[in-house]
Copies of this chain bind each other. A is one copy, B any other.
Amino acid sequence: MMEERTEIADLGEFGLIEHLTKNFEIHNVSTVLGVGDDAAVIDHFGKQTVISTDLLLEGIHFDLMYTPLKHLGYKAVMVNLSDIYAMNATPTQITVSIGISNRISIEALNEFYEGIYIACEKHGVDLVGGDTTTSQKGFIISVTAIGEVTPDKFVKRSTAQKGDLICVSGDLGGAFLGLTLMEREKGIYLENPKVQPDLENESYIVGRLLKPEARKEVIDFFEQNDIVPTAMMDVSDGVSSEVMHLCKQSNLGCRIYEDKLPISDESRQAAYKFGLDPTVCALNGGEDYELIFTLKQEDHDKITLNEEISVIGYMTELEEGSKIITKGGNTFNITAQGWNAFKQ
């Protein structure tokens, strides 16, 4: 049976937008006008609007050789929702713009939008606009997420206080180990296309890479338990890089404890298999899309029953520097080895 393939030129830009967005229903009363006009209209009376945007490029941020398009659509939404949650806000709308080469068929784009649709459904978010165009090379994705927050309840990066606990949700390093695995399997496949990829027992780290989850439940937990973090951001570049941002923007130092870093068994085993140090993967691996936040010490009891939250250290005076204390008791300066898109 031949695979179906419809060329995008057959639909034209407006036909394409209509085709791709017709199944999206509106979830938010704040969405006054969605896709199909010059702009969308949003009504956030009595709330503040939060906005964040990300540009994802083929060959830089994703590799279509091992990234199914449905996962890519899902992830493109999640990484933006993660930024909205990182403000202690609730995402309500997104816009999605794409640049596509003629290598991509309508069927492939359907897959991509199916992933966007699932992500939107899961988080109650409305797709309200976007732009589609051809690209000369590579698949280009630009997502903007809009959210709402009760006035002045948003949480910045710059407002941590000395003595605050540093916490992270979930576990760290998994996405980086998933990437390491996929890159290794890709290399093997390119050398010998007959070798089938060996992903058995690796579904956890592969899932962390290909299908990250924005941590809505952490924000919900804060609200239910009357917790307002003193500072927060999402873990996209690696926790060492994010800790440095919190310190720099709050004008403080920190102490992080190696033995407190949450690392899953699957990640630990994968790290050993690849000859990597699990701690280094947890500190410097990016794309986990967990939340890192600081809490007043008196809020400690409120989080102890939440197994998804780990206290990994505390904020200090600026003069005490940003340091990690190893399991062996040694102290090192933290260096932000976060992924720098300009130095590959």
Which residues in A have some Cβ–Cβ distance to B below 8 Å?
8-9, 11-14, 16, 32-33, 36-46, 48-55, 57, 59-61, 83-84, 86-87, 89, 93, 95, 97-99, 128-138, 140, 142, 144-147, 149, 151-152, 154, 156-158, 232-234, 245, 249, 340-344
Contact = CB atoms under 8 A, between A and B. Distances in A.
A151 B46 CA distance: 13
Nearest to A157: B37
B44 A40 contact: no
Contact of A37 (B44, B142, B146, B233): B233
Contacts of A140: 55, 57, 99, 140
A45 B149 CA distance: 12
A84 B39 contact: yes
A342 B12 contact: yes
14 contacts: A13-B341, A38-B234, A39-B51, A39-B83, A39-B86, A41-B48, A43-B48, A43-B49, A51-B129, A51-B146, A53-B130, A54-B131, A132-B341, A144-B144
A216 to B, nearest CB: 15
A233 B131 contact: no
A51 B98 CA distance: 17
A329 to B, nearest CB: 32
Nearest to A236: B38
Contact of A42 (B48, B61, B343): B48
Nearest to A58: B136
Given A57-B99, A135-B60, A342 B13 contact: yes
A236 to B, nearest CB: 9
Contacts of A51: 39-42, 93, 95, 128-129, 144, 146
B52 A41 contact: no
A59 B99 CA distance: 12
Given A131-B55, A342-B12, A44 B39 contact: no
Contacts of A52: 38-40, 95, 129
Contact of A41 (B37, B87, B137, B158): B87
Given A55-B133, A98-B55, A146-B51, A8 B342 contact: yes
Given A38-B157, A52-B95, A53-B95, 18 more contacts: A9-B340, A12-B340, A32-B48, A32-B154, A33-B156, A37-B156, A37-B158, A39-B52, A39-B87, A40-B52, A42-B51, A51-B144, A55-B99, A57-B134, A57-B136, A60-B133, A99-B140, A132-B341
Nearest to A136: B59
